[in-house]
Chains A and B, each alone.
Chain A
Amino acid sequence: MNLLAWFRGERSAPVARERLQVLLAHERMASGHSELLNVLREEILAVIAKHIKVDREKVNIKLERGGDVATLEIDVEMPDALAVTAGRRGKAAA
């Protein structure tokens, strides 16, 4: 190792510690989100299925992280006939 750096008190281990803390905080969040998303998808599908017959493939759920806010986007493609009924009740947009 570099003796000069040693005398100045510059060690590499504290750098390693800090980099790991930052990285793992991110990675844990990401994997936590993917599990949360799976749970959300199943529960949202179940709620929709109680009222409307929709294709699983037509339900799209996304969790996006911006700088300060995260948004949950739920995109459901409804069968034509139902969209009309729902529209009359003023509940087309979720």
Chain B
Amino acid sequence: MSKVLVVTSGKGGVGKTTSTAALGAALAQAGENVVVVDFDVGLRNLDLVMGAERRVVFDMINVIQGDAKLAQALIRDKRIDNLSLLPASQTRDKDALTPEGVAKIVDQLREKFDWVICDSPAGIETGAIMAMRHADMAVVVTNPEVSSVRDSDRIIGMLDSKTLKAENGGRIDKHLLLTRYDPGRAARGEMLKVEDVLDILSIPLLGIVPESVDVLNASNVGSPVTLNSPSSGAAKAYFDAARRLRGEDVEVIVPIERKGLMGRLFGRRVA
């Protein structure tokens, strides 16, 4: 049975697109047939993070408006052939993304892929609702910081009321992905602790992705971090998260500061 997964957050810049690419690639690396779908109309970025920006010919709105077939718009990844991308439109009017059009595309994608991963735009408006509408599961991407946690709380409320599954009396499967986590700051009491965020949002934890230069390097070269530096801490967190999404029982590891004692003392002094 295919799964539709939305990667959402409310707040922008928390790591939705990065996580969509990394989780999509990690699931594909595990042998699943995956499509990542960019719902950020006008601000598409997933193509760039995936390194496919020069291969975009048609986008989702072309398909909805009947100007292209779905198969023509799908871009197959050059590195893993069971990973595809459906790009968002860059220029067109947001209203072109109709509920009926989206429903039809998601249905078609369900038939072709094991996983349909929808990268949500920021905000709590139509675009975000479109992205979550057909989801069976949600990854709520949150940074350990007040405004991100607050926005995640609102998004969780919307997942429980505005999705088709919720409207039909079902319950959408929600998972918390804590990203841009800085172990040093957490240890110094400058950043919300993992337990605090879990306590406040009360949805199960999918993983903790450390703030890492490997993520930036990966997006610089247009490759998901799980492909570009598979042995990095960030990639490991995404690999583990992907295994949990597949139903495996994997212990969550809280990243710790890797500096020595001197480094830590020094870090504290200059901070």
For residues 173 through 199 of chain B, which have their beta carbon under 8 Å from a beta carbon of chain A? 186, 188-193, 196
Which residues from B are CB-within-8-Å of A21? 200
CB-contact partner of B189 in A11, A19, A20, A23, under 8 A: A11
Q: Known interface pairs A13-B196, A27-B153, A28-B153. Does A35 touch B189 (Cβ–Cβ under 8 Å)?
A: no
Asked if B150 contacts A12 (CB within 8 A), the reply is no
A1-B200 contact, Cβ under 8 Å, with A23-B150, A28-B157: no
| Contact call A17/B192, Cβ cutoff below 8 A | yes
Please tell me if the beta carbons of B161 and A20 are within 8 angstroms of each other in the complex.
no
Chain A: interface residue total (CB-CB under 8 A): 18
CB-based contact A16/B150 at 8 Å: no
Query: Is B146 close to A, CB under 8 A?
Result: yes
Q: List 15 A-B contacts (CB under 8 A).
A: A11-B190, A14-B189, A16-B145, A17-B192, A17-B193, A17-B196, A20-B146, A23-B150, A24-B150, A24-B200, A27-B153, A27-B154, A28-B157, A31-B154, A35-B161
Closest 4 CB pairs of A and B: A11-B189, A17-B196, A13-B189, A16-B146
| Chain B residues with CB below 8 A from A24, complex form | 150, 153, 200
Q: Do A1 and B188 touch (CB < 8 A)?
A: yes
Considering only CB atoms and an 8 Å cut-off, how many residues of chain B contact the other chain? 20
B181 to chain A: closest CB distance in Å? Answer: 13
* Nearest B-chain residue to A10, judged by Cβ: B189
| A6 cross-chain contacts in B, Cβ below 8 A | 188, 268
* CB contact list, A1-47 vs B, under 8 A: 1, 3, 6, 11-14, 16-17, 19-21, 23-24, 27-28, 31, 35
- Asked if residues A11 and B149 are in contact (CB atoms below 8 Å), the reply is no
**Which residues of A sit under 8 angstroms from B161, Cβ to Cβ?**
35
- For residue B213, CB closer than 8 A to chain A, the reply is no
Is B261 an interface position by the 8 A CB rule? Answer: no
* Contact partner, B190, options A1, A19, A27, A35, Cβ 8 Å: A1
Do the beta carbons of A16 and B192 come within 8 Å of each other?
Answer: yes
